[in-house]
Structure 1
Amino acid sequence: MRSTLLPEPTADRQLKHARLVQLLDARGADRIHLGTPEALAWYFDGPRTGVPLGGAPVFSATVHRDGTAVIRALANEAQRLAEEEIGGAEFEVIDWFGDLQASEPGVLRDTEVASELRAARAALLPVERARYAALGRDMATALTRVLSAATPTMTERELAGALSRAIYEAGAEPAVTLVAGASRAHVQHPLPTDAPLGSRAMGVITGRRHGLHVSATRWVQFSRPSAQVVETERRLFEVEADVWAATRPDRTLDEVLGDIRQAYARHGFGDDAWRKHHQGGPTGYNGRDPKAAPGLRDVVQAGQAFAWNPWAFDRGVGGKSEDTVVIDAGGSVVVLSADPAWPTLDIRGVARPAALDLF
């Protein structure tokens, strides 16, 4: 079965295949089986790989050295995939209860070369970069539109629902939707509850389109903030600026994380502040690809996307900063998820999102 309703693969497909061939050469293999959502979304130009959001893929693929790609798809998914999701591939249809994993001997599996595949997809290609920039603008605009209409009596669930709807209306899917009202500013991952927003609230989204993930965090306030809130916000932005400065091509994630630890201490949050929440890391075809952790030897590449998310709860005040950026050659930072309509602060020459005043 071949798709007749989709365009041929983008020009980037050939470049992605060349990266796979380098990996095959290094491993002495002739073909690789792709079965993880991130690998499938990357190679096939961003199809929706699962049915439940975040669920297991409903297809897999074997990519050969000569560029041939064979999709193994469940019988109840194959037609939709061929018509709506994946172009430029042959289809092998199996029973809906069948095994999507390759059984042929000698086939390299993506799970065997996870770090190498992360490196292969790290530097964004031209079509990916354009898609990412468009998604970033759409997600930032969605945040502005929804949060501008928030009220202190609105519940966290109501705001989360409005954010999710805005993401869908932008042609994307909500991979993450978090909301913290004033009573829950101490919660690292505030899954929404029935609590009212109160005097101050945080909205967090990760929207996914074409397989790419854009993450961003914004704050709104319904009364004049205290001096402590203003100070904590600015100090956390200084931590973020240090994080971006540390994220330079050819450095390992372990080295960057070492600088992040020092940044929290340098800006008055304490030596162990970095331990209280994960710090984010590379992004792209995974929300974090991977999540930065001590000992990781993944190397920062020019043209790679990052979503760092410094977080603190200091003297009763919660703070978090997060945007999706691309780190280019020389360490220059391009913010993808920015909306010119949102109020900003100048932090070392970069416009950062201030809390939106709604009082």
Structure 2
Amino acid sequence: MTDTVTAIPTRGADVPAKLARLHELLDARGVESLALTGRESLAWLLDGARVTVPLGGDPVLSAIVRRDGVELHILRNENDRLLAEELPDLASLGIRARTVAWFDTLPGTRADDGAADLREAQVAAELRALRARLLPGELARYRALGSDLATALTDVLAGAGAATRERDLTADLARALIALGAEPVVLLVAGEGRLDLRHPLPTDAPIGRRAMTVVGARRNGLIVNLTRWLGDEPGSAAVARRLLEVEADAFAATRPGRRLADVLADIAASYERHGFDRDEWLRHHQGGPTGYAGRDPKAGPATGDLVVDGQAYAWNPTTARQKIEDTVVVAGGRVEVLTVDERWPTVDVRGLARPDALPLA
């Protein structure tokens, strides 16, 4: 099993470009300061620092962004660890750090605390847009995580057999992710008896002749999402090929400047064109941009966010007993799949190698 963590670029190199984007936001809003209090925005600004304890908890710091620099407010019991292990060289980046008593509220988290002119919730869409285009360090870290995660999944799934329990397979996946320095965000496993479920939390059931695994993992703030299949059943290969055509239509529709709602409309129409029920897209979400959130945002019929060149996506077309998902970057009219392990079997779909099912051991 793979335990090696791929080397990543030193944190901090992209921070000046992120501060420049934030200053443009301040200018556009005509204000002097902005409070960042959400996990996604803080991890983005700080080049992937782990900003929450526990993993799904609230951030243990806040950031007040001003034109002359950034002031971090860190809970006292987290301060030493963050400064020593998580944060880049703050002084050289114009970032100052202050401690806050562990029982106090972090500045910027309350509407009435006066810590900044704008609170994060007031500019959520603008902040998503600032995060959208990946910077060089982010892209390098994302590629490394995608490769590491795909390799780890191959290692784990290649050892599974029909008698393997869903929970045991999930535990093996979790161990592999943590060994890579990644945090599990989503871990779903369904054996052949539960494949009709779109979000199958694992049970004690054996996986049988066919299984689906869905994994989301975070490292350096960035989240990789992918789905892989083991084994087969009558008709599964043919359905998978048609669903891959829906995914190919999703990639083709993801063009810079388009509204996510319009991309989703193209995906929805694609189902019927490839032989599925016209309402199939209503039975499960279809994914959307990814990065510092699993979906940033999840694409819906009213989502007005625009596709940005150089942005990461995780579309996931689904139908009964079938689902497709990888993390890709769409840039310059090209789709780069980040979650690739050359050992995994693939099929060609419009010139792009896409994952096939792995035979059961």
User: Residue 61 of structure 1 aligns with which residue?
Assistant: 63
User: Residue 177 of structure 1 aligns with which residue?
Assistant: 187
User: Residue 319 of structure 1 aligns with which residue?
Assistant: 322
Task: Quote the offset at 1:70 in angstroms.
Answer: 1.4
SS in 2 for 1:357: coil
1:132 to 118, 142, 153: 142
Partner Cα separation in structure 2 for residue 111 and residue 269 of structure 1: 39
Matched, 1:92 2:95: no
Indicate if the aligned counterparts of 2:209 and 2:360 stay in contact, CA closer than 8 A.
no
Query: What TM-score do the two structures reach when normalised by structure 1?
Result: 0.93
Deviations 1:163-195 (A, max 9, x none): 111111111111111101101101111111111
Task: Quote the offset at 1:9 in angstroms.
Answer: 5.3
1:217 to 222, 227, 232: 227
Partner Cα separation in structure 1 for residue 115 and residue 39 of structure 2: 23
1:184 counterpart letter in structure 2 = R
Deviations 1:229-278 (A, max 9, x none): 11111111111001111111111100000001101111111111001001
User: Residue 307 of structure 1 aligns with which residue?
Assistant: 314
Task: Quote the offset at 1:358 in angstroms.
Answer: 2.1
Matched, 1:292 2:299: yes
User: Residue 201 of structure 2 aligns with which residue?
Assistant: 191
Deviations 1:203-244 (A, max 9, x none): 1111101100000100011xx632x11111111111100111
Query: What TM-score do the two structures reach when normalised by structure 2?
Result: 0.93
User: Residue 266 of structure 1 aligns with which residue?
Assistant: 273
Partner Cα separation in structure 2 for residue 112 and residue 80 of structure 1: 30
User: Residue 79 of structure 1 aligns with which residue?
Assistant: 80
Matched, 1:247 2:254: yes
Indicate if the aligned counterparts of 2:312 and 2:330 stay in contact, CA closer than 8 A.
yes
Distance change (3 Å), C-alpha of 1:36 and 1:106: closer
Unaligned runs of at least 5 residues, structure 2: 1-8
Indicate if the aligned counterparts of 1:249 and 1:329 stay in contact, CA closer than 8 A.
no
Partner Cα separation in structure 1 for residue 164 and residue 115 of structure 2: 57
Task: Quote the offset at 1:111 in angstroms.
Answer: 1.2
User: Residue 243 of structure 2 aligns with which residue?
Assistant: 236
User: Residue 3 of structure 1 aligns with which residue?
Assistant: none
SS in 2 for 1:55: coil
SS in 2 for 1:356: coil
User: Residue 20 of structure 1 aligns with which residue?
Assistant: 22
Matched, 1:335 2:334: no
Q: Percent identity?
A: 53
User: Residue 3 of structure 2 aligns with which residue?
Assistant: none
Task: Quote the offset at 1:11 in angstroms.
Answer: 2.4
Partner Cα separation in structure 2 for residue 118 and residue 236 of structure 1: 29
1:36 to 27, 35, 38: 38
Indicate if the aligned counterparts of 2:12 and 2:46 stay in contact, CA closer than 8 A.
no
Partner Cα separation in structure 2 for residue 123 and residue 78 of structure 1: 30
Task: Quote the offset at 1:8 in angstroms.
Answer: 8.2
Partner Cα separation in structure 1 for residue 344 and residue 32 of structure 2: 50
Unaligned runs of at least 5 residues, structure 1: 1-6
Partner Cα separation in structure 2 for residue 194 and residue 59 of structure 1: 39
Task: Quote the offset at 1:10 in angstroms.
Answer: 2.4
SS in 2 for 1:90: strand
Task: Quote the offset at 1:83 in angstroms.
Answer: 1.0
Task: Quote the offset at 1:343 in angstroms.
Answer: 0.4
2:100 counterpart letter in structure 1 = I
SS in 2 for 1:11: coil
Partner Cα separation in structure 2 for residue 17 and residue 91 of structure 1: 16
User: Residue 165 of structure 2 aligns with which residue?
Assistant: 155
Give the root-mean-square deviation of aligned CA atoms.
1.3
Partner Cα separation in structure 1 for residue 34 and residue 119 of structure 2: 6
Deviations 1:88-116 (A, max 9, x none): 13221111111013222652111110000
Indicate if the aligned counterparts of 1:29 and 1:106 stay in contact, CA closer than 8 A.
no
Q: Which consecutive aligned stretches of 4+ in structure 1 deviate over 3 angstroms post-superposition?
A: none
SS in 2 for 1:76: helix
1:323 counterpart letter in structure 2 = D
Task: Quote the offset at 1:31 in angstroms.
Answer: 1.6
Partner Cα separation in structure 2 for residue 233 and residue 9 of structure 1: 40
Deviations 1:109-140 (A, max 9, x none): 11110000000110000010101000000010
SS in 1 for 2:77: coil
